[in-house]
Amino acid sequence: MPYLLSLLIFSPLAAVLLAGLLPSRKHQWFRMLALAVSIGQLLALIALFNSLSPNISLYYAEQARWLNISLGTWGVLQANYLVAVDGLSLPLVALSVVVLLIAVISSWHEQKNVKGYFMLLLTLNGAIIGSFCALDMLLFYVFFEFMLIPMYFLIGIWGGARREYASVKFLLYTLFGSILILIVFIGLYLGVGVVQFGQILHSFSVLDWQDAHYHMTGSWLTSSETYGGFTLKAWAFLFLLVGFGIKLPTVPFHTWLPDAHVEASTPISVILAALLLKVGGYGLARVVLPVFPAETIQFSGLVGGLGVVSIVYGGFNALASKDLKRLIAYSSVSHMGFVLLGLASGTTEGIAGAVYQMTSHGIITSMLFLIAGVLYDRTHDRLIDNYSGLSTVMPRYTALIMIAFFAGMGLPGFSGFIAEVLVLLGGFNPLSLVPVWLPALAASGLLLAAGYFAWTIQRMLYGPFVTKGFAGTLTDLTSRERFMLVSLAILTLWLGILPQGLLSLINPFAEGLSRLLSEHLVP
Amino acid sequence: MQEAYSISEVKGGLAYLLPELTLTAGILLIIIAGIIWHNKSRLWEISITLFVITVLMAGVLIVYDWPQNSIRLFFGFIQQTDFAAYFKLLVLTGCALTAGMSRKKSVEHPAEYFTLVLSVALGSTLFITSNHAVMFLLSLELISLPSYMLTALGRGKGGAEAGLKYFLFGSTVTAVMIFGWSLLYSATGTFDFTSSAFIDQLTQNAEPTAYLASALIIAGLLFKVSAVPFHLWAPDTYQAASAAIAAFFSTVPKLAGLAVLAKILLAFHLFGQSPVPFAAIVGVLSMASITLGNVGALRQKHAKRLMAYSSIAQAGFLLLALVPFDQSGLHALQFYSAVYLVMNFATFYVIGQFEHHQNVQTVEDFSGQAGASWALALVITTGLIALIGLPPTGGFMAKLFLFSSLWSSTSVSPTLRLVFLILGLLNTVVALFYYLKIPYYLFVKNRQNTPNRLPWELQGVLSVLLALALLVAFVLPGLLMGWINKTTFVL
C-alpha cells in the first residue's frame, strides 16, 4: 500500500469537506464520521506496521511536485509534497492516531455546535499527522501553522471560564515561535542549493538541508562572520530552539501552557498535551540537531540546562498547584524537560530516550487529563483540596488514577520509566555532550514527580469521603470512560514491560543522529 | 535624442492606448446616460452595465495587446511595459470588484459614482505608464480629484468632512510634488525621468536640491500608498466612505502609486550609484509603516477603521518588496500586490454585506454573526488569515516570496537586512492579534438572539470566489508566479 501516509493525512481533511455538506442538526452523524475516520486511521496504521520492511531508514516515502518556481537570478524554489516516516516520526504518528481516537470518544457528549467542533477536530487531526510525516519543511511548516487556527477556536469556543484569554495567549506564543522558525527556514532554503540541470535548486527538503555538501559556498551557512558574538548559524540554532522550545514548552517559554490546558475542554487538553507539545520535540530532533550538529554541540549545555530547569521548575510548580489540571500541565513541562536533556546528550540512548519519552508522555498525559476530566464532568470543580476519600465511592476510578499517577512518576513497569532511564543513561554516558551534574539534577526531578503525584493520591483518594464546594454526584466510571482509560493503561504497561519493539524502531534513527553529532566533535 | 514632434507620432501612439481610450469612452457614455435617464433605478442599471462592459473591454485589450517589450509613446510621455500592463490589469480588476460590491441602495447618484470610479481607473492606468513629470502630475490629479469626490459623494456630513480632509491633505501633497519636480527640472534639464539625460545629470551633478526634490516626490507617492508618515488621512477617509469605496481606496490608487514608486525609486537609485541609501530608507519607512499600522490597528473598534490601519501596515509590506532593488523583489511585489488585492476585497466584501444587512459597524457588532452566514464568516476568516500571512492562503506564499527576495538581496547591509526580516516577520504576531478580532467575535462571542440569516446575493458568490482564489494561490502559486516571472522591469 504505497499511499498509506497520504491516506492518513487526507482522510480527515476529506471528512471535513464531507461534514461541511451535512446538516448541522444531525449531531450523531458528525460523531460517527469522526469516529469512522479515526478507526480507519487505526486500521491503516496497523496495515502500516504489518508491512514495515527492515533495513531501510525511511518508510512509505511519497513524493510529488508541489512548487517549482523560478526566482530569477538566484535559482529555482522547489518544494515537494514529500512525506515519509522513520524511527522518529512513526512512533509519533502512531501516538497521534491513538490519541485522536481517544479524543473523539472523549468528545462524544459535546453538545455545543457539534458540527463546527468535529470539523475543527478533523482539521486538527490531518494537520498533526501531516506535520509528523512531512520531510519537506515548507509542507511541515504549513501543517504546523495549520494546527494553530483550529486549536485557537477549539480552546476559545469550547473552553472554560477564561477561555478567551487562554486561546489568545496560546495563539500569540505559538505564532511568535513559528515566525522565528520561518525566518530560519527561509534562510535555510536559500542557503542550500542543489545543482541540477545547470540550475540551482533551492530545496525545502530536510534531507538536503542536513547534507553539508549542499550548503552553498558564500552563503550564511558557510560563513564564519559573527554578529553579537555568534555566527549566523548559531543564531539560527537559537531561533529554532526558542521557536520549538515554545511549543515543547521549555522554561521560560512555558507560561502559555498552564492557561491553555486549564481552560481547554478535556479532549482538547488531551490533544494539546499529548500531541501538540510533541511537535516541538519532533522539530528539534528532525531539523535542529541534524542540520546544525556543530551548534548542537556548542550549545548542548544550554539545551540540557533548559531541560533540567524545566524538569525541576515544572516539578515544583506541580507540587504547589491547587488545581488538578494545572498540576498535570506542570507535570508535562517537567516531563518534556527529559526530551530536551536526552536530545542534548547527543548519545544514542539519550536520543532514543527522548523519542521514547515523547511517545510515553503522550499516552500517560492523555490518561491524566482524562482523569481530571472525569471529575470535572461530574462536579465542575478541579480543586484538589475539595476532594477526599474518593476511593470509597469510586473504586474503579481509583484504580486507574493509581495506574496513571504511578506511570507519571516513572515507576518501573510503566513506559515513563524506560524513557527516563534511557535519558539518564544517555546523560551519564561518558560520550555525553552535557556535564554529568545535569542528569544528576534531572534524577531529582523523578523524586519531585513521586512527591506531587503521591501527595495528590493521598489528598484526593484517602481519608473520609466528604463533599465540599461542589454539587453533583460522584458516580464511578462509565463504560466509555473505562474503555479509554483502560486501553491507555494497557499501552503504557505494554511499552513499560516490552520496550524492545518500539526501541528497535527508534534505534536506527537515534544511532544515525548520534553518529552525525559525533562526526562534528572536535577531537 | 529629441524625437520629432509630429502628428504621426501621436497617431501611431494612439494604437497602443486603446485600453485608456476605452475607459475614456466609458466615462463619456456614463455621463451622457446620466443626462438622458433620470429614474434612479434605471440609471443604476445602465451605468453599471456600461461600467462593467468598459472595464472588461479595457482588460481584454490589455491582455490582447500585452507589450512584449517596452514601447515609448508620445515623445516619452508614456511607456508601455509588461510590468505596467500587469499593474493596469490589477487596477482594472480592483475597479470591477468595486462595482460588484456597490449597492443600488447606498449609491445616490449612480452616473456620477461610476464616472468617478472609472476616472480613477483611467488616471491609474495612465499614472502607471507615465514616464514624464507632466504626465505624472496630470494622471495623479486624475486619480486624486475623483477620489476626493468619491469620499464625500452621498455620505452626508461625515463624508463631506472626510472628503475635505482628504482634499486638503491631497492638494498640499500635489503642491509639494510639483515643487519637487520643478527642482528636479532645474537640476537635470529634463522632465523625462527615465531618460539617460536625467540619470546622467543626476549622477554627475549631484546637488542637495536634487535630493530634496526626490524626497518631496517620494513623499507624495507615500501619501498615495498611505504609508507612514503620510498615512493620517486613511483612517478617517475609510471610515466615512462606504465599504465599497474603502475597499477601492485601499487597493486601486495604492497599487498604482506603488508601481510608480517602484519606477521612480529605481530612477533615483541611479543603478546603485546614488550616494543616498534609498534601499535602507525605503526599508526603514516600510518598517515604520508595518509597525505603526499594526500598533494603530490594535486600538481600533470600528471595522473599516481597523482595515484602514491594516492597509497602512500592508503598504509597509509592499514597500518592503522595493528594498532589494532587483528583479526578484519586483516579482515578489507583483505577487504580493495581486494577493493583496484579492484578500483585501474578500475581507471588505464580507464587511460590506454585514454592514448592509445587519448594520454592523464596530468589531463588537460582529458578535455571534457567524450564525447569519457561515459561508461569509469563513470567507472573512480566510481573508484575514491571508492578511496575517498564514497558510493555507496565498497571503502566506506572498510573504514567503517577499521575505525570500529580501533575504537574498544585496542592496542593504546584511545586518540591516536581518533586522528588516525579523522585525517584519515579528510584526505578523502583532497583526494576528487584531486581525483575528473579527473571527473571534464572529465565532467565539455569543449574542442573545440568533441573527437573521443573510440572503444569498451576487456579493456573497463573489466573496466565496475570492476566498477560493486565495486558497488556489496557496496550493498553486506557480500559476501566477510563472506569469509574473515572464515580466521584466525596464526603466
Q: Where residue A199 falls among pLDDT bands split at 50, 70, 90?
A: confident
Range of the domain at A304: 299-515
> In this complex, which of B403, B429, B436 lies closest to A176 when CB atoms are compared?
B429
| Smallest CA–CA distance from A72 into chain B, residue | B328
Q: What is the pLDDT of residue B1?
A: 42
Q: In this complex, do A145 and B391 lie within 8 Å of one another by their Cβ atoms? A: yes
Q: In this complex, do B405 and A71 lie within 8 Å of one another by their Cβ atoms? A: yes
CB-count exposure of residue A475 (10 Å: 0-12, 13-18, 19+): exposed
* Residue of B404, B433, B435, B447 to mutate, testing the A interface (most A Cβ within 10 Å of its Cβ): B404
Q: What is the rounded distance in angstroms from the CA atom of residue B234 to the CA atom of residue B226?
A: 7
CA dist B58 → A291, B10, B54, B122, B319 (Å): 52, 20, 6, 10, 28
Least Cα separation, residue B424 to chain A (angstroms): 10
Q: In this complex, do B391 and A141 lie within 8 Å of one another by their Cβ atoms? A: yes
The answer to whether residues A349 and A426 touch, using CB atoms and an 8 Å cutoff, is yes
Q: Is residue A172 part of a domain?
A: no
How many domains does chain A fold into?
1
Q: Is residue B236 part of a domain?
A: no
Q: In this complex, do B328 and A73 lie within 8 Å of one another by their Cβ atoms? A: yes
Indicate if the pLDDT at residue A487 is higher than 80: yes
Tell me what the mean pLDDT of segment A476-493 comes to. Answer: 94
- Residue B177 contacts by C-beta under 8 Å, 6 or more apart in sequence? B137, B140, B216, B217, B219, B220
Residues paired with residue B78 on neighbouring β-strands, in sequence order? B73, B130
Indicate if the pLDDT at residue A267 is higher than 70: yes
Q: What is the pTM of this model?
A: 0.92
Q: In this complex, do B478 and A67 lie within 8 Å of one another by their Cβ atoms? A: yes
Indicate if the pLDDT at residue A336 is higher than 60: yes
Least Cα separation, residue B304 to chain A (angstroms): 22
Q: Is residue B114 part of a domain?
A: no
Which strand (E) or helix (H) includes residue A145?
Answer: helix A137-146
Q: How many CB atoms lie within 10 A of CB B299?
A: 10
pLDDT tens per residue across span A452-482: 999 999 998 888 887 776 666 788 889 999 9
- Which residues from B are below 8 Å from A72, CB to CB? 326-328, 331, 485
Q: Is residue A358 part of a domain?
A: yes
Confirm or reject contact between B304 and chain A (CB < 8 A).
Answer: no
Q: What is the rounded distance in angstroms from the CA atom of residue B282 to the CA atom of residue B265?
A: 9
Q: Is residue A507 part of a domain?
A: yes
Q: Is residue A390 part of a domain?
A: yes
Q: How many CB atoms lie within 10 A of CB A198?
A: 5
Q: What is the pLDDT of residue A371?
A: 94
Q: What is the rounded distance in angstroms from the CA atom of residue B21 to the CA atom of residue B27?
A: 10
Query: What are the respective helix, strand and coil percentages of chain A, to the nearest 5?
Result: 70, 10, 20
How many domains does chain B fold into?
1
pLDDT tens per residue across span A130-140: 999 999 999 99
Least Cα separation, residue B200 to chain A (angstroms): 27
pLDDT tens per residue across span A341-380: 999 999 999 999 999 999 999 999 999 999 999 988 888 8
Q: What is the pLDDT of residue B276?
A: 85
The list of chain B residues with pLDDT below 50 reads: 1-2
Least Cα separation, residue B488 to chain A (angstroms): 10
pLDDT tens per residue across span A294-313: 999 999 999 999 999 999 99
C-alpha cell at A506: 527508534
ipTM for this prediction: 0.88
Range of the domain at B387: 331-491
The answer to whether residues B327 and B489 touch, using CB atoms and an 8 Å cutoff, is yes
Q: Is residue B38 part of a domain?
A: no
pLDDT tens per residue across span A229-252: 899 899 999 999 999 999 999 989
Confirm or reject contact between B391 and chain A (CB < 8 A).
Answer: yes
Q: Is residue B487 part of a domain?
A: yes
Q: Is residue B441 part of a domain?
A: yes
- Which residues from A are below 8 Å from B400, CB to CB? 138, 186
Q: What is the pLDDT of residue A472?
A: 67
Q: In this complex, do A186 and B428 lie within 8 Å of one another by their Cβ atoms? A: no
Residues of A with CB under 8 A from a CB of B: 67-74, 77, 116, 138, 141-142, 145-146, 148-149, 152-153, 156-157, 164, 167-168, 171-172, 175-176, 179, 182-183, 186-187, 189-190, 227
Query: Does A249 sit behind a cis peptide bond, omega within 30 degrees of 0 on the bond before it?
Result: yes
* Residue of B423, B426, B436, B475 to mutate, testing the A interface (most A Cβ within 10 Å of its Cβ): B436
> In this complex, which of A73, A153, A182 lies closest to B425 when CB atoms are compared?
A182
